[in-house]
Amino acid sequence: MEDLVTPRQVAKAIDVSESSVKRWCDRGIIPSVKTAGGHRRIPISSVMTYLRSTSQPLVSPEVLGLPAAVGRTAWVLTRARDEVVKSLLAGDEIKTRQILFDLWLGGRSIAVIGDEVIAPAFEKIGEGWSCSEVDIYQERRAVEIMLRILFELRLGTPPGDPGRIAIGGTTSGDNYSLPTTLVEVVLQAAGWTARSMGSSVPPQSFAAAIEHTQPRLFWLSVSASQSPEEFLEGLALIEQACQKTGTKLVIGGAGSLPMRERFSSGVQVCSNMGELSDLATRLAAESSPPAEL
């Protein structure tokens, strides 16, 4: 796990000449730093960003210390989803990572990957589970694998503005940690410093977290359909805290849709990661006017 690599390593990894890499560094196309002696050192995240922007294939990821089998194929979203379901059920972390990283390096946003691949894949796995084609351990293992991959993607995304803080999670009774983790990564990609507080947090504790952290954004991921009354009661507490601190409150997830009419007007509802990403980008632009160079 190296963070800084040399031009030669990058050249080998993406199969171009060393000269080109050096030129790109000097022109700022690949942001890099120099040692005291003038040698270039390139952060892996710079390489990732460059690859994403040009849709270049990563030929030899192992040279960068990245897990093997990252980057090669151009995937169609629907096809990718089916393959992800297959490799997740087989417990094949390598294959799953390959597919998702290929999509990501191919320039797709995490939000799109979430909406078009990850969410439908787990929906499918959930279906298979309910008609007992899928064993519980397969579903749990799939969640674990996806969590690891999401964290790796998060490492490849530049950290957000430390002044734009977002927190969130799921309330009591909701144990699905995957969606709220996905939200965290999506928000970081949108320039936020986001941290999920995990799942099954009581509303009053969320309220305390909001008042203590004073985030600009708070998200609630509602996966399972739960008792609307109980949820709305807890939501009131959270809303109150948000108003006190001037925090924008965002709710999403399948479980929230049946109740969306009963939310008060200040609450923003997102039905997928794409909407959330747009909203987050808009909020970020509002709060801090476009910085000039």
Partner DNA sequence: CCCAAAATGATCGATTTGACCGATTTTGAC
Partner DNA sequence: GTCAAAATCGGTCAAATCGATCATTTTGGG
Contact positions vs a copy of itself (CB under 8 A) = 1-4, 15-16, 20, 24, 27, 29-30, 33-37, 41, 43, 50, 54-57, 59, 91, 93, 135-138, 140-141, 143-145, 147-148, 151-152, 154-156, 169, 175, 195-202, 205-206, 208-209, 213
Least gap, CB of 34 to a copy of itself (angstroms): 6
Least gap, CB of 157 to DNA (angstroms): 19
What is Dmax (Cα atoms) for the chain? 65
Tell me which stretch binds DNA (CB under 7 A): 6-14, 96-104, 182-190, 232-240. Answer: 6-14
Query: Tell me, what amino acid is at 113?
Result: I
Least gap, CB of 212 to a copy of itself (angstroms): 8
Backbone angles phi, psi at 254, to 5 degrees: -55, -35
Sign of CA dihedral 104, 110, 115, 121: positive
- The single residue among 52, 72, 95, 124 that binds DNA, judged by CB under 7 A, is 72
Tell me which stretch binds DNA (CB under 7 A): 70-78, 130-138, 167-175, 230-238. Answer: 70-78
Query: Tell me, what amino acid is at 129?
Result: W
Using rule CB under 7 A, residue 9 touches DNA: yes
Least gap, CB of 124 to a copy of itself (angstroms): 18
Chain centre to alpha carbon of residue 52: 15
Which contiguous run of DSSP H or E holds residue 134? none
Q: Output the six-digit token pair for 139.
A: 């579903």
Using rule CB under 7 A, residue 23 touches DNA: yes
Strands 217-221 and 248-252 turn out to be parallel
Nearer to a copy of itself, 142 or 250 (CB): 142
**In this structure, what is the dihedral angle of CA atoms 262, 264, 266, 268, given to the nearest 10 degrees?**
-10
Could you tell me how many helices (H) and strands (E) the chain has, helices first? Answer: 12, 8
Strand partners, 269: 251
Nearer to DNA, 74 or 94 (CB): 74
Q: How far apart are CA 119 and CA 123, in angstroms?
A: 6
Site residues for DNA, 107-146, by CB under 7 A, read 107
Nearer to a copy of itself, 79 or 140 (CB): 140
User: Quick count: other Cβ atoms within 10 Å of Cβ 211?
Assistant: 14
Using rule CB under 7 A, residue 293 touches DNA: no
Using rule CB under 7 A, residue 28 touches DNA: no
Q: Which residues, 6+ apart, have CB-to-CB distance to 112 below 8 Å?
A: 77, 273, 274
Least gap, CB of 252 to a copy of itself (angstroms): 18
Q: How far apart are CA 134 and CA 249, in angstroms?
A: 36
- Count the residues in the chain: 293
Residue 152 interacting partner from DNA, a copy of itself, none (CB closer than 5 to 8 Å by kind): a copy of itself
Nearer to a copy of itself, 131 or 261 (CB): 131
Which residues of this protein are in contact with DNA, per CB under 7 A?
6-9, 16-20, 22-24, 26, 34-40, 70-74, 107
